[in-house]
Copies of this chain bind each other. A is one copy, B any other.
Amino acid sequence: MGGVREEKKRQTKKAILDAAITLFGTRGYAETSIEQLAKAAGIGKGTIYSYFQTKSEIFLAFCEEELEFLHTEIGQQADTKKPLLETLVDIFMANFQYVTRNRDFGRVYLRELIFPTELTVKRSKEMDDRFIMFFIPFFEEAQKRGELRRDLELLFAIGHFYSLYILTLSGWYSGRLLEEEDVLMFLRMLFKQALSGLAPVPSPSQQLPISHEN
């Protein structure tokens, strides 16, 4: 029979991931060694490296599962009909709370996600893409409702807010934003700024045709 090997590999990978969920979850990232993971998964240390290239890749896989769960949860609660600003603030704040639940986890995750190495680009880009795609329906609806300009590439608009979210996270990690309340206010303020624009509102004569929304 042919599928035996594949099946075993699947099981082993699952065992590693389960071990990661347990050990990363209880002890933390830095405090969990590859050898401990291997032991918990019932395999040798070297074997881990035929399933993952680096420790941080295991961590990303771990995060992937957790975030998938979070996103389906958020996705169910969120309403594409609500005003975009509020929706975005809600979603990003939920993410923020999740990501920074454990300070070290969040740092490792963000470093790897935002500035990946050659070994983790693929995985981190996938996660990033999924995160971005998640927003599309909300932006499409907002655009239909006239809350967003119609001449925008949706992905750039999403990227714009995403970028402000990253800045906020940076503010958290650099100690500029200490309380969750600060984070919320900072994020909302930046989002409003993004919507209304940093330049003065042009006088009517300067307005582009696109601005004549119904």
Q: Is A40 an interface residue (CB 8 A)?
A: no
Tell me the minimal C-beta distance from A28 to chain B in angstroms.
Answer: 13
> What band does the interface of chain A fall in when counting residues whose beta carbon is under 8 Å from B?
35 or more
Using known A-B contacts A149-B199, A190-B160, A204-B204, determine if residue A124 contacts B167 with beta carbons closer than 8 Å: no
Task: List B contacts of A45 (CB < 8 A).
Answer: none
| Complex Cα–Cα for A121 and B107 (A) | 12
**A200 contact from B107, B173, B193, B210, Cβ within 8 A:** B210
| Complex Cα–Cα for A204 and B202 (A) | 10
* Contact yes or no, A198 B198, CB < 8 A: no
* Contact yes or no, B196 A197, CB < 8 A: yes
- Mask: chain A, 135-154; 1 = CB below 8 Å from B; 0 = not: 00000000000111110100
Considering only residues 170-214 of chain A, those with a C-beta below 8 Å from chain B are: 170, 173-176, 189-190, 193-204, 207-208, 210-211, 213
**A199 contact from B174, B189, B195, Cβ within 8 A:** B195
Q: Is A159 an interface residue (CB 8 A)?
A: yes
